Amino acid sequence: MTKIRYAALLISLCTALSLASAKEAETAISLSAVSQEVTGSSAPSEVSTGGSQTTTPSPEERTIEAPEELPDAALEENLQTPDLSQLQPEELSIEEQAKNLQYGIPMPWGHELFEKYRQYYLSDGGRKILLATMQRAAPFMDYIQSKVAEYGVPQELAYLPVIESSFSPFAVSRSGATGIWQFMRNSIVGYGMSITEWVDDRRDFMKSTDAALNKLIDNYNDLKDWPLAIAAYNAGLGALRRAVNATGGDTDFWNIYEKGLVSRQALDYVPKFLAVASILLYPELYGLELPSSSIKWEAIPLDRQVDIKLLAAKAEIPLDTLKLGNAELHYTITPPENTHLLKIPADKSEQVKAILSDPSAPLVHYEIYKVKQGDTLTAISKRYGISISMIARVNTGLNPDRLRIGQILMIPLSLQPLQGSGSSGGSAQTSTHTVQKGDTLYGLARRYGTTAQKLANLNGINLNSILRIGQKLKVPAAP
């Protein structure tokens, strides 16, 4: 019986050893497979060690050795979940990252001029230019980007004013192009803008933005290519149409670029713009901290003329803010028509509306002039430096050819140039003006951004003093 028990125990021991060997082999095979999957290598049939080759021993040649006992600490370390947070993929260069980003207009990576402009604008000097330009853009970007989204055009177009005007609404080119989007006089027809003795809508950031985006859309609908549409914004749609026709209908701008079928200025305009846009779309990639949009604007209709200097003081809005938002005005006074829209910071909306709704609140400075014998409207307009049509518009029902002695005329003294120079300080610097034929204190005051009374006081003369040709007058120096 005892022999049977020993035999049974021996059989059990052999079985256990066989199972353990099988499990060990299975584990070895599975680890080998995982290693192959990670490294992409195939399982070797031979193990190379120090240049010699050793074949895998057969099961009969194997000897079973007891494994060394692992310390408890090593076992615990083996069971812990590994920290993979420090394992980063190979870092891409900034240029490689830039190429992997999304753009509304394909960027011409590798194009010589495009890359040169990128290199320039990413230099220390170029970065300063971009940051200064986007600082000027801050009051307008919220509106421009909202319109870009509304029209569904490539977001890059929001940055076109960078190379057009550096985002200055008062910018005027040598050829006369004006405003943020640099419209010529003959290019505003059909785009909701006008130029009058009161306003130049090319300087209106709202109207000109809508006009520019519509013009670019019209170019794209005609040419079927955004780089071509952008080139047409610079050189004119006709020039780009002729270039496309010269290629037999090829609407790829870069083919037209290689063939030089339009002016060099227009050809270079596109890669320069795209270089700027490629950077400003993703400023954080290049370590550029752009200013956020600083003002949300609201346009409110007026039912009377308003001197924005008076409104700024009453509503506690910086005058420069109102000048910037209403740069289309020739003067600090709004047009007499009731169709004008005044742009104000949205957070001042209720305050401004309350002021405008108060009929007793004076919002324009007028001088009351009583017509004397011998007066003509021409003489009165020269005295005050105001056109006859302006006086006529302010004085409803006035017949310029039939002035009556004793008739009362309202002369708007708020009619100061929007961009006039001047200073409110008593120690302001002055320069000298030599009186010429037709000069008046009122006209000179508007030219130099001050008032006739201040100009009279500065020169120690009476407001009604007659100026002599050749007379030297002190006037505020330009800032």
Q: Which are the catalytic amino acids?
A: 164
Give the DSSP H/E element, type plus range, for residue 295: none
The CA-atom distances, in angstroms, between 116 and each of 109, 131, 261 are 11, 19, 22
- Residue 382 sits at φ, ψ, to 5 deg, of -70, -40
Q: Which amino acid is at 213?
A: L
394, 412 contact by CB (below 8 A): yes
Strand partners of residue 47: 54
Classified as helix, coil or strand, 308 is helix
Strand bridging mode 366-370 / 341-345? unpaired
Q: What are phi and psi of 187, to 5 degrees?
A: -110, 10
Please tell me the distance from the alpha carbon of residue 286 to that of residue 119, in angstroms, as a whole number.
12
Secondary structure (3-state) at 105 = coil
Give the ranges where 40-123 is alpha helix by DSSP (H).
72-79, 94-99, 112-121
Contacts of 339 (CB under 8 A, 6+ apart): 301
The DSSP-derived string for 149-164 is: HHHT--GGGGGHHHHH
What token pair was written down for 385? 């430096």
